[in-house]
Copies of this chain bind each other. A is one copy, B any other.
Amino acid sequence: VTTIDTRQTIMNAARAMVQYRGYNALSFREIAKEVGVKSASIHYHFPTKGDLATALARRYTDDLAAYLDGLLSASQDVHDCIDGFTGFFRGALLKDNRMCLCGILAAEHVDLPTDVRAELERFTQVCVRWLVKVLSLKKSAKGKAVVQRQALAIFAAVEGAQLVARSRGGDVAGFDQTIEAYRTAGLLP
């Protein structure tokens, strides 16, 4: 399609900027420059910065949910699924030392409007629920609550691995080693 949807163009530019520099550093004037309009025009599509961030987080979560569902329908092997999960975060690092959109927003949590915070909660939910499904593929004596907590722990550990790798200049090898250490310890199946 050659039709140009300004709204989508704005969101694409903004998503890349937030993953790279975060919410506070996101600039309407910079987006405008990249899109080729004036900054006041951005406000026509997204009245406030919070509205834009909410739309970004919503789309990001939806995209991840679709990706994860695809993984699970492609293979019921636990290891394949977990590799696909960690691969999502690895990919962000590989692409110019970028962070998970919701990971970097989490750090700026207190500066976020309530709508964005709600989307962050949903992102965590999507990850945790999917991880519970995957962990349940392996039959074990573990209770539901234990699996739930392990899923949240896996999510937190992977976000942390990305955060630390980023603070070391986008150290993808270090990220891989940390994930491997999680597996060795038994945190990852």
Chain A interface, >50% SS class:
helix
**Residues of B with C-beta under 8 A to A120:** 167
The distance in angstroms between the C-alpha atoms of A24 and B107, with both chains bound, is 12
Q: In the complex, which of the residues B102, B104, B117, B160 contacts A159, with contact meaning CB atoms closer than 8 Å?
A: B160
The interface bits of chain A over 159-187 (1 if a CB of B lies within 8 angstroms of the residue's CB, else 0) are 11101111111000010011011101111
A183 to chain B, nearest CB (A): 10
The interface bits of chain A over 96-138 (1 if a CB of B lies within 8 angstroms of the residue's CB, else 0) are 0101001111111111000001001100100000000000000
Interface residues on A, range: 35 or more
On whether A103 and B163 interact (CB within 8 A), knowing A185-B186, A187-B186, the answer reads yes
**Residues of B with C-beta under 8 A to A167:** 102, 105-106, 109, 117, 120-121, 124
Closest to A128 in B: B164
Q: Is A152 interfacial (CB-CB < 8 Å)? A: yes
A68 to chain B, nearest CB (A): 17
User: Is A20 within 8 A of B107, CB to CB?
Assistant: no
